[in-house]
Amino acid sequence: MLEIKNLHKSYGQHIALDGVNLQVNKGETVVIMGPSGCGKSTLIRCVNRLTEPDGGTIRLGGIDVLSLGNSELQDLRRKVGFVFQQFNLIGRLTVLENVVFHLVLGGMDRDEAWARGRSVLARVGLKAAEERRPHELSGGQQQRVGIARALVTNPEIMLWDEPTASLDPILVGEVLEVMEELVKTTATTMVIVTHEVSFARKVAQRIVFMDQGRVVEEGVPGDVFARPSSEVGRLYRKLLVN
Amino acid sequence: MLVFFRDGFYKDLIILLIITVIVGAVFSQGIAWAIDTYFGDTLDGMIGEYGEYDVILHIREEAKEAAMRELDRIGQESFPGYRIKESLTIAGQANFFFGFPAEHRTKEVLEAITSYFGAVPGISGYTLMVEPSVLIRGVHPAVREDLREQIEGLEGVRFAVKDGGNLVVVLSHEDRIDTVTGAVESILQQYQILELRFPMGFEVDTQEVGNQALKVLRAQGLSGDRSYTNVTSAEYGEDLDAFLKALVEMRDFLGSYASQVRISPEPSARLGVGELIILEDGLIIEVTGVYGDLVEAMIVEGSPVQSTDKIVQRGYRFLGEGERGEWIGNVEIENERYRLAYAVDESLRLLEELEELSIQASNAVDNAEAVLITFQEALMQLEVLQVQMRQLNEGIAGDGINSSGEQFLLTILLNGLFQTLAQGVINTGEEPLDSLQNLDLEAMRKSLSGISEQIGNVQETDVAAIIEQIGFVRDTLPNLNDAEIGQSIRLINTYLGGQVIPGERIQLLIQGKAVDEKMLEGVFQRELDNPYLHTYSTSVGMVTPDARGELFRILKEVRSIVAGMLAIIFTIIVLVLDHATIFSTLKYVRASGKPVRKGLAGLLNPLIFLGGALGSLILTSVYYLARSEIPFFSLPLIVLLGFGLGVLIAFMAERFSPVNSMELMAAQSLGLSNVQIMREVVIPPSRPGLLNLLNRFKQQF
Ligand SMILES: Nc1ncnc2c1ncn2[C@@H]1O[C@H](COP(=O)(O)OP(=O)(O)OP(=O)(O)O)[C@@H](O)[C@H]1O
Ligand SMILES: [Mg+2]
């Protein structure tokens, strides 16, 4: 489904990605973990080119992502759901509008879009909040709107960039619940960047550890947490034991 | 980066630009027009509508009421149907606008304003403002009637009225202003006043030299038909002449008051007028005249030692601050001012002593009278003595037996003494005592009392008052030092340089093709044997717009400037409100896109060009369409200014309109096209401007 080879990205002198290779199969749930600043966000933003990599190849569903022109890229992006750490909702739109506006702009009939929007909102438990605006919601609710927005297009792949990292610990649970439910009930391929170790162990089919712009270890959760081979892996194992 | 616009936003941008320019032009011109109208109305309110009034009468404020009554009376009596309006009072002077009924708006009436209104209380003058008219200023008196005749023959001219040195050409209709102006100008062009100016100090017989100059002019054999007349006239600017004369007097007075500086130049030193020379003690002098070996100068910096004697110092060429060149000779400085002051001081002292002296003299005369009286008494006693002595002598001689050696000796002694005494007083050769007795003691006493009287007169003279007066004169002697005097003289000379004193100017009227006066200058200098004269060419009159036209011209200028300022302000506002949003979006896109190339290519930031292009496009078009005109702002400068503003806003875009990168990134991740991102995500929350407003028509959410 997703095949990343030798991906490089620098910000000026700073190397953020230093030859990343990653393979994600269709329907698979992969969790990427690693210390802050190791390049996780950069990596998954490169997948739909929210960030332009400097070198390497990315193939998504057989398409060479980096060679796409503007409109093809936009088509591709519609098939990729992206959930942001900061939710990134459109502040002036209502909850429902946030979930459906891109459907309408993509050419969908308004009624259909609205109907779909309501149903996804119901799925993330926000049916009652559709007329509210993002700033009237709690962080957890906002992130559930973000999830609904990504979900509403029935994406082939969902990319999660630390969806719970900016939430109160109390609110983390409600988001993780939704995520877990999604992983279980949909066949969508998931690439999740998170620090939630127990969540990772529970839902991931594969764990990828990153450090300093490289993939340093990967494997099934049972293996990597039990016998980590990398420094990063050992740190997470310690977290899990605690 | 600009690829970002390719999927459609450029259309929005073009529409935005067109509307921006139209709105900008309408806005700038609209406000300027409002100003125009407002002031125009104010102007009409102040000076009446076009053609409503014919003359402004200036009246002293305190006589306003009385004047108004009198004006009404004159109006009713002589000009039934007249219009009158009191306008502004400026600096104690009220202004009344008076309009004649059409049948009275004639040459006869307009030239007789003084005889009609001269008796109005408090009147201090008038200004003609007949409309429609063409005003010719500074009409040379020699051609006035000639001009008037020609101008009155023009079509559309009713008549021409003399108004002081001006000629007011009254027209039949305002449509004629342009054609008549043109015609008058071409009439004026047929005349030229050629002026020969002699520098100050030349007394010239204007009649004689003028005729000589005419001859010289005719002898030139210049091509073309011309007539030449000597029109030298004193009617021109008498006040100025008086003033200039006073200035010359002043300068000469100052000149005689300054130190006299004479240079005995070294044979090798060539000195010219205006050269600066520095003396041993730091004084700086300027050469004012070179007459062979005699060089005169004046002090322009520093003060000489105060001395009534001649000061002699060595002089060196002055080469600028603190630098001196070669020795050019000895410089003598004499200061009449110090001498004068010295003389005054001396006479003061003398006067004081005189007063003292008169007191002493009167004492002396009194003493002399006392002496005279004593002398008279003494004389009488002498007579007695003489008698006694004679008796004594006789006695001695009578009985010689009795005469003793002692007595004889006494006689000799007495005689000798007496003779010596008498001779000492008046040496007449007569018998001593006789001559003494012959002295006219009465006459002597009389003359003594005469002297005494005169001394009394001297004492009566108020010497104190004289002393005071002389002291006052001394104190009022200008307290100027030489440098100050020198500078004053220089200043006066500079001013006088361009001016000419009456009798030192000759005016020749040339009718026909104009001559090149500078070309003739050399000819006149040679033929009239005066290398200092200069030639100037002036016209016999100048067509100027009337007061209202002038005000409207100024108003139009103000309008253009205001429009220009508004265009600039509008551009800044538009750039800040609208384009900053676009620029900050572009900058975000640029930053998240492919890395910027380094080196020269990286420096050629397309933002510079886009910003500059947008700025100059908006400003230039708005400026042009609003018919703006700011003095010194040429069109290229406006283009450049617009470019600069655009670049500035492009670089500071985030400050004015920060882009919400999170929303933008989310929109990108959702597969929105760039134009959709602009319309739905970036522009709606941006500052309320034209961009925001126009976007409402496109916006779906
Ligand atoms: N736009 C940018 N400009 C410059 N440097 C950047 C930019 N974005 C990220 N970086 C740097 O690149 C490195 C990788 O950043 P990235 O956000 O991918 O890390 P991360 O693993 O997601 O960390 P975190 O857990 O804190 O989110 C970091 O050192 C970061 O400072
Ligand atoms: Mg991150």
How do residues B665-696 score in pLDDT, each as one tens digit? 999 999 999 899 999 999 999 989 999 999 99
Question: What average pLDDT does the segment B456-461 reach?
Answer: 66
pLDDT band, residue B189 (cuts 50/70/90): confident
Least confident span in A116-120, B57-61, B686-690: B57-61
pLDDT at B425 > cutoff 50 = no
What is the rounded average pLDDT of the residues B469-498? 70
Subunit contact A71:B7, Cβ cutoff 8 A: yes
Instruction: Confirm if B319 and B325 have CB atoms less than 8 A apart.
Output: yes
Contacts of B398 (CB under 8 A, 6+ apart): none
Q: What is the pLDDT of residue A2?
A: 95
Q: Is A67 part of any domain?
A: no
- Selecting from B6, B668, B680 the residue whose C-beta is nearest the C-beta of A101 gives B680
What is d(CA B228, CA B58) in angstroms, rounded to the nearest whole number?
41
Residue of A nearest to B667 (CA): A102
Please tell me which residue, A164 or B219, carries the higher pLDDT value.
Answer: A164
Indicate whether A128 belongs to any domain: yes
> Of B7, B666, B701, which has the smallest distance from its Cβ to A70's Cβ?
B7
Query: A34 C-alpha to center of ligand 2: Å?
Result: 10
Across A151-155, B23-27, B439-443, B556-560, least confident range: B439-443
- Tokens found for residue B690: 């034209």
> If DSSP codes are grouped into helix, strand and coil, which group holds residue B259?
coil
Residue B401: is its pLDDT beyond 50? no
Please tell me which residue of chain B has the smallest CA distance to A82. B669
Give the model's pLDDT for residue B35.
Answer: 80
Is residue A140's pLDDT more than 90? yes
Do B232 and B205 meet the contact criterion of CB atoms below 8 Å apart?
Answer: no
- Tell whether ligand 1 has an atom less than 6 A from the beta carbon of residue A42: yes
pLDDT at B259 over 50: yes
The complex scores an ipTM of 0.95
Ligand number nearest CA of A10 is: 1
Nearest chain A Cα to B671, which residue?
A74
Q: Which of A137-151, B509-523, B526-540 has the highest mean pLDDT?
A: A137-151
Residues lining ion ligand 2 (Cβ < 5 A) are A 41
- Judge whether residue A203 has pLDDT over 90: yes
Distance CA B318, CA B321 (A): 8
Q: Is A111 on the interface with B (CB under 8 A)?
A: no
Minimal CA separation from A220 to chain B, in Å: 29
Q: Measured between alpha carbons, how far is A39 from A37 in angstroms, rounded to an integer? A: 5
pLDDT computed for residue B438 by the predictor? 61
Q: Does the pLDDT value for residue B61 go beyond 90?
A: no
Per-residue confidence band for B416, with pLDDT thresholds at 50, 70 and 90: low
The protein residue with its alpha carbon nearest to ligand 1, atom 28, reads A37
Q: Which pLDDT does position B203 carry in this prediction?
A: 67
Which of these ranges, A27-36, B283-292, B653-662, has the smallest mean pLDDT? B283-292
Determine if ligand 1 sits within 6 Å of the CB of residue A77: no
Look at residue A114 and tell me if it is in a domain.
Answer: yes
CB of residue A41 inside a 6 A radius of ligand 1:
yes
How sure is the predictor about B430, in pLDDT bands with cuts at 50, 70 and 90?
Answer: very low
What is the 8-class DSSP label of residue A220?
-
Distance from residue A15's CA to the centre of ligand 1 (Å): 10
Identify the three-state secondary structure at position B319.
coil
**How many whole angstroms separate alpha carbon A181 and alpha carbon A195?**
18
Class of domain B51-129: alpha beta
Give the minimum alpha-carbon distance from A166 to chain B in angstroms, rounded to a whole number: 14
More confident residue, A72 or B603: A72
Residue B435 has pLDDT above 60, yes or no: no
pLDDT digits (tens, 9 = 90+) for B69-91: 989 998 998 899 899 988 777 67
What tokens were used for B37?
């109208």
CB A97 to CB B701 under 8 A?
A: yes
Which residue of A11, A209, A215 sits with most ligand 1 atoms within 8 Å of its CB, as the best mutation to test the pocket?
A: A11
* Residues 6+ positions from A232 with CB-CB distance below 8 Å: A33, A34, A35, A38, A209, A210, A211, A216, A217
| pLDDT at residue A109 in the model | 94
d(CA B464, CA B257): 28
Q: Does the structure show a pLDDT above 90 at B548?
A: no
> Which atom of ligand 1 is nearest to A40's Cα?
21
Listed range (B171-175, B227-231, B384-388) with the worst mean pLDDT: B384-388
- pLDDT in the model for residue B131: 81
What pLDDT is stored for residue B644 in this prediction? 94
Higher pLDDT, B176 or B168: B168
Cα–Cα separations (whole angstroms), residue B178 to A210, B78, B155, B511, B539: 88, 33, 12, 24, 20
Question: Tell me, what's the pLDDT at B415?
Answer: 58
CA distance A76 to chain B (A): 7
Minimal Cβ distance to B666: which of A70, A90, A104: A90
Measured in angstroms, the CA of B568 and the nearest CA of chain A are apart by: 33
Q: Is the CB of A172 under 6 A from ligand 1?
A: no
Of B592, B672, B673, Cβ closest to residue A51: B592
Measured CA to CA in angstroms, residue A181 lies from A125, A188, A199, B117, B414 at distances of: 12, 12, 12, 108, 177
Measured CA to CA, the distance from residue B412 to residue B395 in angstroms comes to 14
B562 three-state secondary structure: helix
Rounded average pLDDT over A165-194: 92
CA distances from B247 to B242, B495, B499, B503 (A): 9, 9, 11, 16
Nearest-by-CA chain B residue for A90: B663
Cβ pairs A/B, distance under 8 A: 73
A169, burial (CB in 10 Å: exposed 0-12, middle 13-18, buried 19+): exposed
- Cβ proximity of B153 and B133 under 8 Å: no
Nearest CA in chain B to A76: B671
Better-predicted residue by pLDDT, B498 or A38:
A38
> Which residues of chain A neighbour B675 with C-beta distances below 8 Å?
none
Mean pLDDT, rounded, for A177-189: 92
Give per-residue burial for A173-210: e unless 16+ CB within 10 Å, then b.
Answer: ebbbebbeebbeeeebbbbbbbbbbebbbebbebbbbb
The helix (H) or strand (E) run that includes residue B483 is helix B482-497
In chain B, count of helices (H) and strands (E)? 24, 18
Apex B646 CA angle, B642 and B652, nearest 5 = 145
Per-residue pLDDT tens over the stretch B124-137: 888 888 888 888 88
- The answer to whether residue B335 scores a pLDDT higher than 60 is yes
Q: Which strands, in side-by-side order, build the sheet including B123-128?
A: B83-90, B93-99, B55-60, B123-128
**Is pLDDT larger for residue B89 or for residue B571?**
B571
Q: Does the pLDDT value for residue A136 go beyond 60?
A: yes
Using 50, 70 and 90 to split pLDDT, how confident is the model at B402?
Answer: very low
Angstrom distance (rounded) from CA A160 to CA A190: 8
Residue B441 pLDDT grade (very low, low, confident, very high; cuts 50, 70, 90): low
More confident residue, B17 or B364: B17
Please give the average per-residue pLDDT across B6-26, as a whole number: 88
Q: What does the buried/exposed string (b/e) look like for B675-689 if buried means 16 or more CB atoms within 10 Å of the residue's CB?
A: bbbbbbbbbbebeeb
**Which residue of chain A comes nearest to B661, CA vs CA?**
A88
Residues of A whose CB is below 8 A from B3: 70
Q: How confident is the model at residue B367 (pLDDT cuts 50, 70, 90)?
A: confident
Judge whether A14 is closer than 8 Å to chain B, CB to CB: no
Query: What does the pLDDT average to over B529-552?
Result: 76
| Chain A positions in Cβ-Cβ contact with residue B701 (cut-off 8 Å) | 93, 97, 101, 104
Greatest mean pLDDT among B319-323, B434-438, B562-566 lies in B562-566
Tell me which H or E stretch contains A239: helix A231-241
Average pLDDT, chain B: 79
The lowest-confidence range among A57-61, A185-189, B367-371, B670-674 is B367-371
For chain A, the average pLDDT equals 94
Is A123 among the domain residues?
Answer: yes
How confident is the model at residue B127, as a pLDDT?
Answer: 81
User: Can you tell me the mean pLDDT for B456-480?
Assistant: 67
The pLDDT-based confidence of B311 (bands split at 50, 70, 90) is confident
- B interface residues, A as partner, C-beta within 8 Å: 3, 6-7, 592-595, 660, 662-663, 665-674, 676, 680-681, 684-685, 700-701
A93 in reach of chain B (CB within 8 A): yes
Residue A55 lies in a domain: no
Question: What pLDDT is attached to residue A87?
Answer: 95
Q: Structural domain boundaries of chain B?
A: 2-39+548-695, 51-129, 242-338+485-496, 341-463
Percent of chain B with pLDDT over 70: 77
Whether residue A138 is contained in a domain is answered as: yes
Per CB-CB distance under 8 Å, the chain A contacts of B7 are 70-71
How crowded is residue B636: how many other Cβ atoms within 10 Å of its Cβ? 9
Q: What is the amino acid identity at position B585?
A: T
Quick check: B7 and A91 CB within 8 A?
Answer: no
- Give B700's contacts in chain A (Cβ within 8 Å): 101, 104-105
pLDDT at B270: 79
State percent of chain A over pLDDT 70.
100
The atom of ligand 1 lying closest to the CA of A85 is 27
Query: What is the distance between the alpha carbons of residues B121 and B68, in angstroms, rounded to a whole number?
Result: 9
Residue A99: predicted pLDDT: 96
Amino acid, res. A70: N
Q: Would you call A166 an interface residue with chain B, using a CB distance cutoff of 8 Å?
A: no
Q: For residues B168 and B128, is the Cβ–Cβ distance under 8 A?
A: yes
Residues B86-106: pLDDT tens digits? 877 767 778 888 999 988 888
Q: Do B595 and A78 touch (CB under 8 A)?
A: no
For ligand 1, atom 20: residue with the closest CA:
A37
- A11 in Cβ contact with A205 (< 8 Å): no
A115 part of a folded domain:
yes
Record: contact A80-B674, CB cut-off 8 A: no
Question: Which protein residue has the closest C-alpha to ligand 1 atom 26?
Answer: A36
* Topology of the domain covering B242-338+485-496: Elongation Factor Tu (Ef-tu); domain 3 (2.40.30)
Please check whether residue B279 is in contact with residue B483, taking contact to mean a CB–CB distance below 8 angstroms.
no
Q: Which residue of B has its CA nearest to A152?
A: B670
Picking from A102, A120, A149, A157 by the largest number of B CB atoms within 10 A of its own CB, the best residue to mutate is A102
Q: Whose alpha carbon is nearest atom 6 of ligand 1?
A: A11
Give the minimum alpha-carbon distance from A78 to chain B in angstroms, rounded to a whole number: 5
Least Cα separation, residue B700 to chain A (angstroms): 8
**Residues from chain B contacting residue A105 (CB–CB below 8 Å):** 672, 676, 680, 700
Judged by DSSP in three states, A192 sits in strand
Q: Per residue in B159-193, is it b (16+ CB within 10 Å) or e — as a string?
A: bbbbbebbbbbbbeeeebbeebbebbeebbebbbb
A219 falls in which pLDDT band (50, 70, 90)? very high
| pLDDT greater than 90 at residue A199 | yes
> Binning pLDDT at 50, 70 and 90, where does residue B542 land?
confident
Residues spanned by the domain of A114: 88-154
- Residue B420: predicted pLDDT: 52
Is A106 close to ligand 1, i.e. is its CB under 6 Å away?
A: no
What is the number of domains present in chain A?
1
Beta bridge partners of B664: none
Which residues fall within 8 angstroms of residue B650, CB to CB, at 6 or more apart? B579, B583, B607, B608, B610, B611, B612
Alpha-carbon dihedral angle through residues A2, A5, A6, A7, given to the nearest 10 degrees: -30
Mean predicted confidence (pLDDT) in B198-203: 67
pLDDT at residue number A179: 94
At B229, which amino acid appears?
T
State pLDDT tens for residues A29-51.
Answer: 999 999 999 999 999 999 999 99
Residues linked to residue B193 through DSSP beta bridges, in sequence order = B509, B538
For β-strands A214-219 and A14-24, DSSP reports them as unpaired
Whether A13 is in the pocket of ligand 1, judged by its Cβ within 6 Å, is no
Whether chain B has a CB inside 8 Å of the CB on A66: the answer is no
